[in-house]
Amino acid sequence: MKIAWIRHGSTSWNKEKRAQGGSDIPLDDEGNEQAALLSTRLGKESWDVLYSSPLKRAVQTAQAAAEELNVTIHLDERLQEVGGGQIEGTTESERIEKWGEGWRDLDLGREPEEDVLKRCRSFIDDLRAEHQGKQILVVSHGGIISQMLHVLDPSHVNEETMKNTSISEVVLRDNQWSCERFNCTRHLDM
């Protein structure tokens, strides 16, 4: 079984460095171009199933791939970005101005990590039960992908920001996950 975790394409909020969380922000022009380049790359590979977060930026990225691969998109709410609570729509400087340097230590309604991991583990368990031996694409968000990769293969995953339309592949062999490609965007250089 192989899962390719794909971060959605670029949005205007990405460029402004605004926390998106569960806010439903669409791709910008660059994000649409990135999704097209990604779909061309994926079209040269073999994939069986495509899942996506239901947020616009992920769905728009998944649609380009679905058309290229002639597959159906399965929307799954468990793939939505980590809920940002009151910080959604704000930049780092706005957060510091509003709540001070220690804003990360405040209860601002952000989704707890335990809840994020619970929903992601549930998603992985369902994939394993329903799609054993398949090649699966999952279009989601940087926060979710980073946390899932650290859970699946912490020894091979770096602490870096996931790039827009990056592909990170994990393979399940002998009941052990291994990250074999991490945060790869070579399709954007073609």
Catalytic residue among 67, 68, 81, 92: 81
Q: Note if 180 is an active site residue.
A: no
The strand pair at 167-173 and 176-184 is best described as antiparallel
DSSP single-letter state for residue 55 = S
- Cβ neighbors of 130 (< 8 A, separation 6 or more) are none
Q: How far apart are CA 20 and CA 132, in angstroms?
A: 33
Catalytic residue among 8, 68, 88, 169: 8
Q: How far apart are CA 69 and CA 168, in angstroms?
A: 18
The strand pair at 49-52 and 73-75 is best described as parallel
Q: Note if 81 is an active site residue.
A: yes
The partner residues of 181 in beta bridges, in order of sequence, read 169
Q: How far apart are CA 47 and CA 33, in angstroms?
A: 21
CA nearest neighbour of 71 among 50, 46, 41: 50
Catalytic amino acids? 8, 81
